[in-house]
Amino acid sequence: MKPKLTYIVSNIDKALAFEWVALYLDKNKFDLSFILLNPDKSYLQSFLEKNDIPVLWIPYEGKKDFIKSIFKIYFYLKKNKIKTVHTHLFDANIVGLLAAKLVGIKNRIHTRHHGSQNHTYFPRAVFYDKIINRLSTKIIAISENVKNILINWENAKSKKVVTIRHGFDLTFFKNHNKLKINEIKASYNPRSSKLVFGVIARYTHLKGIQYIIPAFKKVLEKHPAAHLILANTQGDYQAEIKKLLTEIPKKNYTEIVFEQDIATLYQVFDYYIHTPINNHSEAFGQTYVEALASGIPSIFTLSGVANEFIKNEKNALVVNYQDSEDIYQKMMMLIDNKPVIEDLIENGKTSVKQFELNPFIENLTKLYLE
């Protein structure tokens, strides 16, 4: 009989990573199911149902649903004789791992998806991170940065920690529908600017958007038709970022709350910028891989997994942390510099091949079968 594996995920509407696991994890080796903790039915739930993967949706809006959700998960895991539980994100980690421990499931895995932000911004939450670490029999660190935080900052047992970097279906970022690209360009670049800088990052302090906007403002002095596109424009630093945006003409920027077609969105950008404020705030930083896989010449600070593979002036331009002037200089370096751009694009695509999906799936499979 195949071992039964259940993913427990909280507060996710759409996520390519879970779709890829659902599609490519070997069904001959596992009976895979999902438990989703969301306030409403999600895109992910619809995707799983469409692909005939068992999924239980538990309506979940926060603390008031905590105890109820533990019991629902407990009975699901017990009734279905689940052997391995793999949890993702805070609420699923707490609720799912507690339920799995109560059932007596020995293989309790969680993936650590955040970097140092709790240590920096929410020190009381570190207590819960440590509880989650203790409840887990294995912890997946998605980068060397996360591994360091788990072991050296939070004293997680090193034998529990397994490094498995995210994997990507890189073809997803290579195969493009020109009609869709033109449709999105019409929406987000209505003046058809020939100089578009893109940013995909939540409006939080640690993402460093507050240093990109002043740099772009300086670019406008020499290139008044330039356009800035900001996507995922929600977060606890929203007021501060919107205040900075008042210094830029509204015609020169677009804010996008959420764009489902992320691969096509990258094709709207001529250049890409991602500048977290230090080397440890990102746990991984999927956008580093996505942007280079999409062939977009990029400007980065080194955080999360970028510490492991981004090389200045080889596959991207690297800037100092919290340095608008450096960002501005690198933006100007890219503009109309075809030799630099061509090298960055070619080397960028080559460098992300190490994140192909198959090794990721193989590493997960090996862990689940231990």
Task: Give residue-wise pLDDT tens across range 242-256.
Answer: 999 999 999 999 999
For 291, the enclosing helix (H) or strand (E) is helix 286-293
Residue 336 clears pLDDT 90, i.e. is over it? no
pLDDT at residue 283 in the model? 98
Say whether domain 4-169+356-369 belongs to CATH 3.40.50.2000: yes
pLDDT at residue 49 in the model? 98
pLDDT at residue 257 in the model? 96
Burial (Cβ within 10 Å: 0-12, 13-18, ≥19) of residue 191: exposed
Task: State pLDDT tens for residues 73-125.
Answer: 999 999 999 999 999 999 999 999 999 999 999 999 999 999 999 999 999 99
Same fold, 4-169+356-369 and 170-354: yes
pTM: 0.96
The arrangement of strands across the sheet holding 253-256 comes to 253-256, 227-231, 196-200, 271-274, 298-300, 317-318
pLDDT at residue 227 in the model? 98
For the beta carbon of residue 55, count every other beta carbon within 10 angstroms: 22
254 beta partners: 229
Domain 170-354 belongs to what topology?
Rossmann fold (3.40.50)
User: Do the Cβ atoms of 200 and 224 come closer than 8 Å?
Assistant: no
| pLDDT-derived band at 319, boundaries 50, 70, 90 | very high
User: Which residues neighbour 118 within 8 Å (Cβ) at sequence distance 6 or greater?
Assistant: 125, 126, 129
Structure tokens, 314: 């080889």
How many helices and strands in the chain, by DSSP H and E?
A: 16, 13
What is the mean pLDDT of the segment spanning 272-282? 98
Where in the chain are the domains? 4-169+356-369, 170-354
Task: State pLDDT tens for residues 15-74.
Answer: 999 999 999 999 999 999 999 999 999 999 999 999 999 999 999 999 899 999 999 999
